[in-house]
Amino acid sequence: MVNTADHITIHPCRALAGSVRVPGDKSISHRVAMLAALATGTSRLTGFLQSEDCRNTLQAIEALGALVESAPEFVQVTSRPWECPTHPLDLGNSGTSLRLLAGLLAARPWTTELTGDASLRSRPMRRIQEPLELMGARVELAGPDGCAPMRITGGALRGIEYALPVASAQVKSCILLAALFAEGETVIAEPLPTRDHTERLLQAWGITVRADGQRITLRGYGPHGPDLEARDWTVPGDFSSAAFWLVAAAVLGTSVTVENTGLNPRRTALLGVLKRMGADLTVSVKESDSALEPSGTITVHRADLRGAEIGGAEIPNLIDELPIAAVAGAAAKGTTVIRDARELRFKESDRISAMVANLRALGISADEREDGLIVRGGSTVRGNVELDCRGDHRIAMALAILALRAAAPVGLHGIAGVNTSYPEFWKHLISLGAHVAFDNRH
């Protein structure tokens, strides 16, 4: 069930119960498809996320020469020599696709234009322009304020030592992928640890990536890049999608189990936050022969939550979960403070502004900070209101969970973006006991 409507009405629900198997991890799906397009032969990617964002990545690697076959349970990628695309690569809403592909295109002897929808064309791209140009590529940003469309002309790349100005796994990954085709060593210094899916995948493909604290080192293979062989992968469930059910169970109950979710330690800081807030949760890690990406099952029972401080080094490892963490704060007793999270302003929407505006519309006391927000929980959630999700998938899903606690039905507008990351979200919400109604009002 993939919803195409852009408006939904959420009816009050006093309890959710059951189990959910979340779809494949979006971050891993992007990365494994791109690397499969470099590897000689055919790679089968089981559990690949069949969402709009990941389809944009598949269409891009097809335009660059790869053969892609999609089935409900897997995707097959057969590499062929990369070639200059005949048209700009439209990556829709996917900033991950654009930033990572820019790294892979930085050594190609042609000019490629990368673009996307209005949201993508409003997100900052100078953060990848600078390191790629230092390495030897030419990068032009045709949009205002250093935004896409981006035209990248490949060059002879050299390794660099680069300190990331912000903690960003996408920028780090862009540089690492470009570094594969560089001469010499590339060293990246992170201000804080970020998700490490790219490093894990590269290492699994036989590429040496050294991590010394927050310094990551990769020695390049020169302009022809590494000699990778195709292989099969199983993509675990997406913890960022699981997060909505973890909070829903904690604030509504009775209990919800999320199966086969990724448990990469660089992604699961929300678990620590929920424990500090008093959540009753059990994590079971699946035993596996491969330590590439840990996965397992999480069960959460309803609990009385209390407010918490969220900030510092944990922020990069729950940046996508902060909207639903704010919902937990709204349901908790006391005050929840989210800080050190200015990156939220540069996502698919300004997520700080979006969450505060919608929390207030629901009768929750909330204030913006430049780098976060303050949520004063414990109030009754107001019903009979219309909320603007601003086309942002994570805002829409977070508000849907909070709307279940409302005193009367709540309307959500701008929900179509949910299809970029979790097309089955509404189906799963209904399966756990919620009552919703779709329409196409504008």
Point out the residues that are catalytic.
320
Residue 118 neighbours by CB distance under 10 Å: 8
Q: Is the peptide bond before 323 cis (omega within 30 degrees of 0)?
A: no
Rounded Cα gap, residues 305 and 322, in angstroms: 16
